[in-house]
């Protein structure tokens, strides 16, 4: 019988859990996953949860207060003590074993293996991704994490197929962020949305564009296409964002500032607000926005809000998501100016 993320929360005893992810780095997708997860833990009555978080001083910028203990992810001693004290480790979402794998993922996977077999902790991988686009380090890391897991809930077919080679208790569901479809959020996040409304002014049909840090080569191509679109699109309002804080991605934020100074029709913003505020902002302006952006969780947020988006893919995880939504993915390496311009015109932007 298949198990979904909802089943895990309903059927498993998640009291005394340590929640681990790349939370606190200021990436929109990771902060979105954490905010959704804390809502889920709260709604299911979990009282004892320890959240690992980078840059604890930034927590209030991105999240509400749920009353759960937080520890610095970089403080290895505190993390180890939390694991010893608690009985569960929950990895909460993310395409950890994919194109963006790094040595930290290997360390995390080793920690899971150690915790399961030496410390006898229960390990849950919920809404995770393991993709063919990963490298050897990613494969080794996934083997360690998969072997350590009591239960894995994969967010797509490719992940399930890859983890089933390692762990029989692997089930198929969707990304954790889709839980937003079943949550009532407006009143809870009204203040957050009001802050965002002051930063981004949308009064008529507007193009919403996001930049992302890519591997070498991908970014220059994408940026070049966006630059040309801006040059030819100076009669319509455009919002350009990075979905990280400016301090994390100063290069792209500097580019945004240059564009803002060059084009009077351009507004810019970095990610310095609660991630659910963006979803609700999108819902409020669903008839006025069209989105160009390659981020996995930006696409999910756009889909939930009912906003058209250009289906750009830079990795397997995004391609699979786009196909799940019934679209044909456009590889970022094949993105052309004519494709961007056609999408803008199709959305009645008259560019």
Q: Specify the CATH number for 190-346; select among 3.30.1330.90, 3.40.50.2000, 1.10.760.10, 3.90.1150.10.
A: 3.40.50.2000
Whole-model pTM over 0.75: yes
DSSP 67: S
DSSP 87: S
pLDDT top residue among 111 and 214? 111
Q: β-pairing, 151-154 with 122-130?
A: parallel
Name the one residue in this structure whose structure tokens are 């340590």. 18
CATH 3.40.1160.10 assigned to 5-182: no
Q: Residue 111 corresponds to which tokens in the numbers above?
A: 């920690």
Contact 188, 218 (CB under 8 A): no
Q: Residue 178 corresponds to which tokens in the numbers above?
A: 């889709």
Average pLDDT estimate for 149-176: 97
**Which SS3 state, helix, strand or coil, does residue 71 take?**
strand
pLDDT of res. 218: 60
DSSP 274: -
pLDDT top residue among 216 and 100? 100
pLDDT of res. 13: 98
Domain boundaries, the chain: 5-182, 190-346
**pLDDT tens digits along 79-97:** 999 999 999 999 999 999 9
Q: 5-182 and 190-346: same fold? A: yes
DSSP string, 210-231: EE---STTHHHHHHHHHHHHHH
Tell me the helix, strand and coil percentages in the chain, rounded to 5.
Answer: 45, 20, 35
Asked whether the predicted pLDDT for residue 202 surpasses 70, the reply is yes
Average pLDDT estimate for 145-152: 98
**pLDDT tens digits along 117-134:** 999 999 999 999 999 999
pLDDT of res. 219: 61
315 vs 335: CA distance, rounded Å: 14
**pLDDT tens digits along 258-296:** 999 999 999 999 999 999 999 999 999 999 999 999 999
Can you say whether the dihedral through the CA atoms of 25, 28, 30, 31 is positive or negative? positive
Confidence of residue 186 (pLDDT cuts 50, 70, 90): confident
């Amino acid at each position: 019988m298949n198990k979904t993320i909802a089943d895990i929360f309903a059927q498993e005893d998640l009291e005394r859990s340590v929640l681990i992810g790349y939370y606190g780095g200021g990436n929109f997708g990771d902060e979105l996953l954490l905010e959704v997860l804390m809502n889920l833990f709260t709604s299911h009555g979990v009282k004892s949860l320890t959240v690992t978080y980078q840059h604890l001083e930034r927590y209030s910028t991105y999240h509400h207060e749920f009353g759960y203990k937080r520890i610095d992810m970089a403080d290895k001693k505190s993390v180890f003590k939390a694991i010893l004290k608690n009985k569960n480790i929950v990895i909460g979402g993310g395409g950890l074993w994919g194109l963006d794998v790094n040595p930290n993922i290997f360390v995390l996977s080793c920690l899971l293996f150690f915790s399961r077999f030496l410390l006898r902790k229960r390990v849950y991988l919920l809404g995770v991704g393991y993709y063919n686009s990963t490298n050897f380090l990613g494969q080794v890391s996934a083997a360690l994490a998969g072997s350590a897991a009591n239960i894995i809930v994969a967010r797509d077919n490719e992940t399930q197929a890859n983890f089933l080679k390692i762990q029989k208790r692997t089930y198929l569901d969707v990304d954790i962020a889709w839980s937003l479809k079943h949550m009532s959020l407006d009143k809870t996040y009204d203040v957050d949305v009001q802050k965002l409304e002051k930063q981004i002014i949308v009064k008529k049909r507007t193009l919403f564009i996001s930049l992302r840090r890519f591997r070498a080569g991908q970014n220059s191509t994408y940026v070049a296409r966006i630059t040309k679109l801006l040059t030819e699109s100076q009669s319509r309002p455009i919002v350009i964002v990075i979905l990280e804080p400016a301090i994390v991605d100063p290069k792209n934020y500097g580019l945004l500032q240059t564009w803002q100074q060059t084009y009077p029709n351009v507004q810019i913003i970095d990610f310095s607000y609660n991630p659910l505020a963006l979803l609700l902002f999108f819902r409020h302006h669903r008839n006025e926005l069209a989105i160009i952006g390659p981020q996995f969780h930006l696409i999910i947020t756009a889909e939930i809000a009912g906003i058209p988006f250009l289906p750009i893919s830079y990795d397997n995880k995004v391609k699979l998501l786009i196909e799940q939504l019934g679209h044909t993915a456009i590889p970022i390496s094949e993105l052309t100016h004519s494709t961007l311009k056609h999408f803008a015109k199709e959305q009645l932007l008259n560019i």
